[in-house]
Amino acid sequence: MRHATDGQDPGTTSAPGGPRRRTARTYVTLAAAALLTTGALAAGPLAASAAPLDPDLARTVHTAGRVAVGADGGALFSWPGIYLEGRFEGTGIGVDLTDPASDYDVAIDGERVTTLVAPGPGTHWVDGLAPGQHTVRVVKRSESTWTTSRFDGFVAAPGGRLLDAPPARERQLELVGDSFTAGYGNESTERECTGDQVNRTTNADLSFGAITARNLDADYQVNAFSGRGMVRNYGGGEAGTSYRTYADRALLAVPGDVWDRPDDWQPDAVVIGLGINDFSTPVSSGEPWTTQSLRTAYVEAYTGFLDTLRARYGPQTYLVVSSTSYAGPELPPLVQEVVAQQRAAGDQRVLIWDYADAPLDYLGCHWHPSLADHRVLAQRLTALLTPLLTDPQPTPTATPTPSGSPTGSPTTLPSPTVPARACQATLTVVGSWPGGYQASVRVTAGPSGVAGWRAGFSLPGGSTVVQGWSADFTSAGPSVTATSKDWNARLGAGQTAEAGFIGSGPVPTDVHASCTSP
């Protein structure tokens, strides 16, 4: 099997040119790629138009991700993880692709056969295949936020022909975030990396979101931008911008660009992970925030961002907010506050995915998650989403309350009286659907406060905890214990903490929760 580019020897798929616009001085950012000046970022050479996608390209290629249309009908894109899928008959396939910065994996019949490294203009060939029908998949591995990539379609080898594109998948998943979501340096075998090594070892197709999507047989978007935060970028870089500056774009290097969302993109779930870059470095004296005002701005911006997603995608889409202690202890309680506000306002399809306790090695470039870490995260995210996305899946409704209670209120399951020196716990079922439910555990400290808490309760037969957040959940038969995290263990007199979980099986009713302070 030969893999080559027009006019090049096999394997010579890199485009010639000047030095890469990267620097080795990176940590959470993609260095110059992540925090270019606004002027440099605006220098994208290609602009989109309102013209429709070329009919032959639209017929023969299934595209996933934010794709814009060039003036002549070609496909333009910027975000990592974009993938292009086709079918053909014959012994070879050409990929008409131009990207001076990013790398692309090419798979034939589900097996990766080559990687195109910063492919220059031209048709990049894979031939020497056995005669017959084949599938081809091309995926953008790395980030190139300062350029615009171009794809003009697949080309069948002489004697072959392109077939109609494979159909779109029924499920859809959208991943929003920073370098963790992008898969930054996840294929690296060492933590210290140059900018070029980051490029070569970043693989969005093996990020936790992409793996989860394949586990769920879903199409997906990886809308991730390394170094960006909800309100503040890593180290306070490029002041006045944030992830939200680019959140609506298809082409990141084109100021003012707005993605023309197709009617058929309606994700079942959007997983959002923003905040590591906001809080992983201390606020410097030249920045417009204090530590406290940054927290306030973060909560306000995140709340507004979730409101925007809800307005865009409607009431059926789950909004999953991830939480990690990687950036320090500040982030988890702020994420909890954001989600609590949304749920208090009546949005029961907003929930937390807390992976602070995940056993991660952070062996990727600059202490980012490794391939093994992404598999761990994908396993947990798949477990969380599977019961939610199982059809049929009506909007969760409040569990019926006893006669005389207001209609639609969630059922608060009472806990017994506890000693004044300890704490009190209540378990509330906040929504249910066929085969599953979501519940919260609320802990209130007594007049002496607590330095830690442990809430216990028993679930009905056949009911189990699938995924929990803001506490460590352990089970022994029907008995479940929720133990405080380090960041929410200490409660002053009358203060509260809330944890939650997704359960499968019968919905709990008339369950007493107990609380102790270790």
Which of these, 209, 224, 194, 208, lies nearest to 79 by C-alpha position?
Answer: 224
Hey, is 161 helix, strand or coil?
strand
What is the rounded distance in angstroms from the CA atom of residue 378 to the CA atom of residue 180? 12
What is the rounded distance in angstroms from the CA atom of residue 262 to the CA atom of residue 501? 34
Structure tokens at 402: 């006893």
Hey, is 331 helix, strand or coil?
helix
Contacts of 416 (CB under 8 A, 6+ apart): 512, 514
What is the rounded distance in angstroms from the CA atom of residue 85 to the CA atom of residue 66? 15
Phi-psi region of 260 (alpha: psi -120 to 50; beta: other; left: phi over 0): beta
CA dihedral 332, 337, 338, 342 (to 10 degrees): 140
What is the rounded distance in angstroms from the CA atom of residue 238 to the CA atom of residue 489? 36
Which of these, 492, 490, 392, 413, lies nearest to 456 by C-alpha position?
Answer: 413
Strands (E), 396-435: 411-413, 423-433
- Residue 65 CA, chain-centre distance (Å), reads 13
Angle at 361 between CA 357 and CA 366, to 5 degrees: 115
Three-state SS annotation for 268-321: CEEEEECCHHHHCCCCCCCCCCCHHHHHHHHHHHHHHHHHHHHHHHCCCCEEEE
What is the rounded distance in angstroms from the CA atom of residue 62 to the CA atom of residue 154? 11
What is the rounded distance in angstroms from the CA atom of residue 65 to the CA atom of residue 84? 9
- Please tell me which residue in 179, 280, 322, 440 is annotated as part of the active site: 179
Structure tokens at 140: 């953008």
Helix, strand, coil share of the chain (percent; to 5): 20, 30, 50
Greatest alpha-carbon span in the chain: 83
Q: Would residue 504 show up in a list of annotated catalytic residues for this protein?
A: no
Please, are residues 363 and 481 in contact by the beta-carbon 8 Å criterion?
Answer: no
Task: Give the Å distances, CA to CA, from 480 to 25, 352, 359, 468.
Answer: 47, 19, 22, 11
> Do you find a cis peptide bond into 392, omega within 30 degrees of 0?
yes
- Catalytic (active-site) positions: 179
